[in-house]
Amino acid sequence: MWHQRQIRLREQRRGFHLVTREIAEALPELGQLRVGLAHLHLLHTSASLTLNENASPDVRRDFESWFDRAVPEDASYWTHTAEGPDDMPAHIKASLLGPSLTLPVRNGRFGLGTWQGVYLCEHRDRGGARSLLVTLWGEA
């Protein structure tokens, strides 16, 4: 059983955002899978997906603090600067975290740990609404 569906996520400001429920609600086919996988793939190069702690907004804020220091906007070595100071750091952050996640599915739901949630990591100041190509496959 295969399903492939492109979904459009709500526009978010720069930062780390919990989107597990938004994605699950856009996937009516998820409930039909007894065992399988879900591949979530962002069609962009300046935003990323990761799994992390789903309870404290503090954690998501600290993600932003760390990433902004690790990949500084004002580094003298950037040469790709035509699209603004947030662009090249956004590309690096996007690859450090990656554009896609593969999640286990069991009994019609994402098979995540108690504290795991999907983060949309928006690395641009104005990234706009991001598109996700989701592929679901498995057994009913």
For the chain, how many helices (H) and strands (E)?
3, 8
Site map 40..59 versus a copy of itself, x via CB under 8 A: -xxxxx----xxxx--x-xx
38 binds a copy of itself (CB under 8 A): no
For a copy of itself, the binding residue among 21, 28, 95, 128 (CB under 8 A) is: 95
Q: Shortest Cβ distance from residue 10 to a copy of itself (Å)?
A: 18
**Interface with a copy of itself by CB under 8 A: which range of 7-15, 17-25, 38-46?**
38-46
Task: Give Cβ neighbours of residue 118 (< 8 Å, ≥ 6 apart).
Answer: 18, 19, 20, 23, 40, 49, 50, 51, 101, 103
80 is a contact residue toward a copy of itself (CB under 8 A): yes
- Asked whether the beta carbons of 46 and 91 are under 8 A apart, the reply is yes
Return the range that interacts with a copy of itself (CB under 8 A); candidates 7-15, 18-26, 86-94: 86-94
Asked if residue 122 lies in contact with residue 9, where contact means CB atoms within 8 angstroms, the answer is no
Residue whose pair of structure tokens reads 């955002």 in the numeric block: 17
Q: Is 37 in the site for a copy of itself (CB under 8 A)?
A: yes
